[in-house]
Amino acid sequence: MSPAIHLAGAAVERSGQRVVQDVDLRVARGSWFGLIGANGSGKTSLLRALAGRLPFAAGSCLVDGQDLASDRAGRALRFGFCPPAHTLPDSVRVRDVLELVGGSYDDVRPRLGRLSLALALAPLLDRWIGDCSAGMRQRVAIACAFAGGHPRVILDEPFNWLDPVAIFDVREVLRSMVDDGLTLITALHDLGTLAAACDAGLVLANGEVALALDEHALHTAAQDPQAFERQTIDLLRS
């Protein structure tokens, strides 16, 4: 079966500098793909390019078999994307933001499903974004990625700012959504989540693939998370 997403030789430039190069990756349909790397290793740039927020400088980008490397709008249309929480507009309410992305809130609610509960969204709906804490903004940003009902979603470091309970609940719900057919790509800083929740992953270093992790490698990592953490940290240090 062809993968849901297939990048080959992908490169991304920021301000004339190549920050991601020669990245090959395959994301199976209905799987959770984790991206790990040091700060500035190119994770965000790669995810933004995939979501159409940046152009690809080189390579191919197949989404369900269709090459969209040169079609930013096409990629943006096909992926739900979690915007950086601090860029959400202060002067609108949470409900307005979700409705702008996904239509009426009655349509948005079933798309969010159990995630709405995990994100504790109901009490936030009538709150101004400007009155939300960093964690609340992050909850809204995650909800935005799912409000449009996309079958492929990209989340850039979704667990930042969330409290431990929310991290646990959101991770569980995301996993169950993936089991129900969602294709999820996340940048992560938590090796434990990568090992325990993801089906495959990639370690980026200086914009290049340092290590590709398939299902078997992550299964092994989940059995001995400490050894996996030590190996990955050594790799990132080198």
Partner 1 sequence: MISPDSDRNRLFRHDGRIAINTIRAAFAGWNDRLVAVAVLIITLAMIKSWLAERPWTIAAWSAVGAGLLLGTSAERLVAKRLAFHGFDGLLAVDALRPATRRRYIAAWHGIALALLATVLLVVAPSLLIVGCASYLAGTLLAALMSGVTVPKRLADRVGSARVIRAWLRHGQAGALVASTLLVVLLLERSLTPNTLIAILGIETTLLTLALTSVDSDVVRFMATTGYGPWRIVGYHGKSMAYFLALAVPGCWLIAGSVAAAVVTAVSGAVLLLLVLRVLAYCLHGKRFADLIVSIFAGLLLFLAYFLPIALPFLAVAILWQLQHRARTKTWLLA
Question: Nearest distance from residue 135's CB to partner 1, in Å?
Answer: 14
DSSP at 91: T
Q: Is 26 among the residues that bind partner 1 (CB under 8 A)?
A: no
Q: How far is CA 220 from CA 52, 171, 194, 228, in A?
A: 34, 20, 12, 8
Q: Exactly one of 54, 61, 118, 121 binds partner 1 (CB under 8 A); which one? A: 54
**Two tokens at 42?**
């190119």
Rg of the chain, C-alpha, whole Å: 17
Question: Nearest distance from residue 213's CB to partner 1, in Å?
Answer: 29
Minimum CB distance to partner 1 smaller for 44 or for 232: 44
* Positions in 210-229 near partner 1 (CB under 8 A): none
**Separation CA 129–CA 192 (nearest Å):** 31
Q: Is 158 among the residues that bind partner 1 (CB under 8 A)?
A: no
Question: Nearest distance from residue 6's CB to partner 1, in Å?
Answer: 20
Q: Is 34 among the residues that bind partner 1 (CB under 8 A)?
A: no
Q: Please tell me whether residue 159 adopts helix, strand or coil conformation.
A: coil
Neighbours of 216 (CB within 10 A): 9
Beta bridge partners of 153: 80, 184
Q: Under the rule (CB under 8 A), what is the footprint of partner 1? A: 15-16, 48, 51-54, 72-73, 76-77, 81, 83-84, 87-89, 91-92, 96-97, 100-103, 107, 130-131, 144, 147-151
